Chains A and B, each alone.
Chain A
Amino acid sequence: MIILIVSLFRTLILFITVMIGVRLMGKRQIGDMSPNELVVTILVSQIATIPLQDMNQPVINGVVSIFFLVVMELVLSVLIMKFGTFRKVVNGAPAIIIKQGKLDQKAMERLRITVDDLQEELRQQQVFDIEEVYFGIVETDGKLSIMLKNDSNSVAVPVICDGAYQTDFMNKMGIDLLEVEQRLAERRLKREEVFLMTLDSKGKATVIKKEGKI
């Protein structure tokens, strides 16, 4: 029975380790998870249970592995933040499956979304007729964002993120690069100086300048 005390201490050590790890990984971990965050979370939970189940395993093995996963997650988050291409490779990019009321069947096929899946997702958002949807975007976490035809809001598309043109989105939405450059010239700004620039369907541009090192 005294082994239970050992077990309690091991549990306490691993609990503290996982808590520190989750805190270091940041608040995003608790909310919607990107693929890398999901992988790290699954691995951390699995690794933490090994020394708990197998008393022959030194606790330090679990602690070191968990902290190393946290290190990898932190490095990955820095790379994702700094490099757009890397971000796309790891997290993917949002995909438009309904554009101006029209279904993009190729995009649906690529994302392996069936019509049933789409209708189910729409119903969950209180939309019972696909005809009502003007824009439907599958986000990187797999959730569907929709804009209805009678919605007074306009769709704002990111055209520059962290000083880089979002050509994929611009092409999908039919936004001309010259138009974006013209808008920047009007504001006497260079692309590199822009943190975020969006262009909505009504032609309104929103520009947020870079504040310095992020």
Chain B
Amino acid sequence: MKRLWWVLALLVLISLPITAGIITVNKFEDEMLECISLAEKTISSEDYKSAKKYAEKIEDTFAKKEGVISLFADHEMVENIGVSVARLSSLATKETASEFLGECQSAKIMLRHLVNDQLPLMHNIL
């Protein structure tokens, strides 16, 4: 039947952005979390220069992926992550190390939230 072929075509069409969204957001989360963890380690070992470099790398990674991520995720949530990671490089100093770690934690929570919001879990469905 013609209608069932349309159903099949639409299901394929629907599954494409869904799959792309899941893969993109997960990959983005992995990349960002890895960089943030490295930045946390370096600032904990008082290597402020490397921490600054990592913070800039985090900012760059975010800037590169922001456009694609916004296609699939809530724009406000993505912007909040952006604001959080943008503060990191200025906080990579001895005096503001604790604030740096706090901001890293905040960014990590938001990133996890971004992924968890997509998962087909009961609390997301209801």
Q: What residues make up the interface of A, taking CB atoms closer than 8 Å to B?
A: 24, 55-58, 60, 63-64, 67-68, 70-71, 74-75, 77-78
Contact = CB atoms under 8 A, between A and B. Distances in A.
Interface string B1-24: 101101100110110011001000
Interface residues of B, number: 19
B6 A74 contact: yes
Contacts of B4: 74, 78
Given A56-B76, A58-B72, A75-B7, 6 more contacts: A24-B6, A24-B10, A64-B17, A68-B14, A71-B10, A71-B11
B75 A60 contact: no
Q: Which of B4, B14, B18, B75 counts the most A-chain CB atoms under 10 A from its CB?
A: B14
B33 interface: no
A193 B55 CA distance: 75
A74 B7 contact: yes
B26 interface: no
Interface in B8-63: 10-11, 13-14, 17-18, 21
A2 to B, nearest CB: 15
B125 to A, nearest CB: 13
Contacts of A78: 1, 3-4, 7
A77 B3 CA distance: 9
Q: Is chain A's binding surface mostly helix, strand, loop or mixed?
A: helix
B105 interface: no
Contacts of B14: 64, 67-68, 71
Q: Which of A24, A56, A68, A78 counts the most B-chain CB atoms under 10 A from its CB?
A: A56
A55 B75 CA distance: 8
Contacts of A75: 7
Nearest to B79: A56
B60 to A, nearest CB: 23
A70 B7 CA distance: 8
Contact of A60 (B7, B10, B17): B17
A4 B71 CA distance: 18
A67 B18 CA distance: 12
B74 A71 contact: no
